[in-house]
Structure 1
Amino acid sequence: MAVTSQAPARDGATATEEQPQPAPSVTRRRAGRGAPRRHWPAVVPFFAFMAVCFGLPACTLAYNAFTVIDPATGASHYSIDNVRHSLTGAYATGLAGSVKLSLLSAVLATVLGTVIAQALLGARSGALRKAVVSASGVFANFSGAPLAFAFIATLGTTGTVTRLLHLKSTGFSLYTFTGLVLAYLYFMVPLMVVTILPALDGIRAQWREAAASCGATKAQFWRHVGLPVLMPSLLGGAVLMFGTAFASHATAAVMTGSSVPLITIQIANALSGNVLVGQENLALAMSLNMVVIALLVMAVQIPLQRRSNRWLG
């Protein structure tokens, strides 16, 4: 829409000038740019909470991880000795054990959780789906010491299932790496079901119909359409499972103690004073290693989640 205005001409007559106005979309876009700025004070409490509860401890952790105390004088100085010790010897074995346990648990939980979620979508009963989703939400939060005691009472040396099935004669032991994997799967598989179910539900029926009209089988549909679309969600779920298993401590501490080398148990031992003189900050260095791995996990998960939302949103 143009606005006309009268302007004097050189010969004394009036001439009509047209002044173009910006398009409505441009006007809305300009108005929208300033809208978030008016609401930024609302998020100040959130960022303040993050700074106090997460930022300050993280900075303190990083500072003390590179601080070494001289046992003779008690003076502190900056050094990488704590970080170097945390990546050698038994501590490196514990870090590798945690990574191995997390990777295996994440892969198994991703496969089993995806299969269960897909079977749940194919069920005709809506009540069954609601019941399984509700149970998965409960089981996903049942971990730590209560879960360890439940497994010990069931599959321990004198557990009920162990005696009924005579598992002790087969050489099975709950207090091993395999037993930890079973315990972790108890809460990780339900968590994967809850995580992947919305993505599986986002597979549109029109895609299946279009593939069937072109003569594609179910296997071909999942190979060429379903799995490529779900791959960001699957990888994001696997990364989430890895982070969950990597940060778990209470279950492993109660079940196996120090018999299975894990970085979380070694950090707890170091915090209790089970370190050499002059290595008081070794636990902080090991914690810094875990923080770095957690940041790498987040750096992988966030882009995958965004890509999944773009496809299935």
Structure 2
Amino acid sequence: MAGTPPAPGAGLKIAVGSYVPLLPFFGFLLIFLIVPTVTVVVSAVQDGEGGFTLGNVRALTSDAAVNALWNSIILSGSTAIIGAVLGGLLSYLVVSLGPRSVIRRTAVSVCGVLAQFGGVTLAFAFISLLGFSGVLTEALRSWPGIDIWGSGWLFGLPGLIVVYCYFQIPLMVIVFTPALEGLRPQWREAATNLGATTAQYWRMVGFPLLTPAFLGSMLLLFANAFAAYATAAVLVSQGNPISPLFIRSALTSEILLGQRNLGFALALQMVVVVAIVMGAYALLLRRTARWMR
């Protein structure tokens, strides 16, 4: 009958039922995010016998730990800037082709693949190309007599910067293209009707609107490079130039035997840095969403 009040508890059942499809997602978060994070936090403040200690956290101020963190920041920051600038330009070229362009769809699809192309495969590809006996190295060594191998830069921080840019630039295209697509043609038409030139439109309308999205994408690239491990683990077999490799040594190396919990402290340090970066990214993304609606 019309006007009949709902049965008691019906609203609660509907509310609970609406979350049932999300249970697999919540289970995924619990197993692969929450449990590992809690494990890292707890283990970082424990000694070898399971007692509470701040020695692991204090060890983060050692020269080795500070240098590893600083190198990770340099690696992530430089590749984020390079990837953001080159990827942003590529995104603009892709968007300018038009939504129905075959080249545009192909370029976005290729970037989607290359953004995930990392790890052992990527490292092997660059070793085959730029290693001591790499294809390009041998070709330039035979003619015109240029030795690009040098002192083995590929297996140090400069080499990691070059290799990381390989997947940073395509990732920038993927995350920044929607922001460029969000620029409405009416805004440019309005600026033109008011007498603005193309340069004035970009300086006074386009760039200010795109700045939050650009900075947010750069932060995402920073976090992506900061947490990358597999590619660096293959290229750098000795030493711990970045934090992920220092964590590997603390957990597995015989030289750092008994420093397992130091590895957890290093991981906690990385979690804090990534959390700060992703928090700033979320704020910029919220600001970008205001004008993309």
User: Which bracket does the TM-score occupy, shorter chain normalised?
Assistant: 0.7 to 0.9
Whether the 8 Å CA contact 2:119–2:229 is kept in 1: the answer is yes
Aligned to 1:62: 41
1:129 to 2:104 alignment = yes
How far did residue 35 of structure 1 move? 6.8
How far did residue 252 of structure 1 move? 1.2
> What is the count of residue pairs matched by the alignment?
277
Aligned positions of 1:94-243 closer than 5 A: 94-123=68-97, 126-166=101-141, 167-168=146-147, 171=150, 173-243=153-223
Q: Give, in whole Å, the separation in 2 of the partners of 1:239 and 1:169.
A: 32
Superposed CA RMSD in Å reads: 2.2
**Residue identity matched to 1:51:** L
How far did residue 87 of structure 1 move? 2.9
1:50 to 1:156, Cα distance in 2 relative to 1, 3 A: same
What's the TM-score once normalised by structure 1's chain length? Answer: 0.82
Q: Give, in whole Å, the separation in 2 of the partners of 1:224 and 1:273.
A: 55
78, 81, 93: which one aligns with 2:52 = 78
How far did residue 184 of structure 1 move? 0.5
How far did residue 100 of structure 1 move? 0.8
Q: Give, in whole Å, the separation in 2 of the partners of 1:63 and 1:169.
A: 47
Higher helix share: 2
Whether the 8 Å CA contact 2:240–2:246 is kept in 1: the answer is no
Q: Give, in whole Å, the separation in 2 of the partners of 1:277 and 1:252.
A: 22
Aligned to 2:271: 291
**Residue identity matched to 1:64:** S
Structure 2: tracts of 5 or more residues without a match: 1-10
Percent identity between the two aligned chains: 38
Q: Deviations over 1:110-130 (max 9, x none)?
A: 000010110122236701101
1:129 to 1:279, Cα distance in 2 relative to 1, 3 A: same
After the TM superposition, which parts of structure 1 deviate over 4 Å for at least 4 consecutive aligned residues?
Answer: 32-38, 275-278
Q: Give, in whole Å, the separation in 1 of the partners of 2:162 and 2:90.
A: 17
How far did residue 280 of structure 1 move? 2.7
Whether the 8 Å CA contact 1:136–1:193 is kept in 2: the answer is yes
Between structure 1 and structure 2, the one with the greater Rg is 1
1:259 to 1:283, Cα distance in 2 relative to 1, 3 A: closer
How far did residue 219 of structure 1 move? 1.6
1:64 to 1:227, Cα distance in 2 relative to 1, 3 A: same
Q: Give, in whole Å, the separation in 2 of the partners of 1:276 and 1:231.
A: 45
What secondary structure sits across from 2:51 in the alignment? strand
**Residue identity matched to 1:101:** L
Q: Give, in whole Å, the separation in 2 of the partners of 1:170 and 1:301.
A: 38
What secondary structure sits across from 2:269 in the alignment? helix
Higher strand share: 1
Whether the 8 Å CA contact 2:131–2:149 is kept in 1: the answer is no
Whether the 8 Å CA contact 2:131–2:137 is kept in 1: the answer is yes
How far did residue 247 of structure 1 move? 0.8
How far did residue 214 of structure 1 move? 1.8
Comparing 225-234 with 36-45, which one deviates more in the overlay?
Answer: 36-45
What secondary structure sits across from 2:155 in the alignment? coil
Whether the 8 Å CA contact 1:258–1:265 is kept in 2: the answer is no
How far did residue 33 of structure 1 move? 11
Q: Give, in whole Å, the separation in 1 of the partners of 2:171 and 2:128.
A: 23
1:269 to 1:279, Cα distance in 2 relative to 1, 3 A: closer
Aligned to 1:272: 252
What secondary structure sits across from 2:176 in the alignment? helix
**Residue identity matched to 2:30:** A
How far did residue 170 of structure 1 move? 7.9
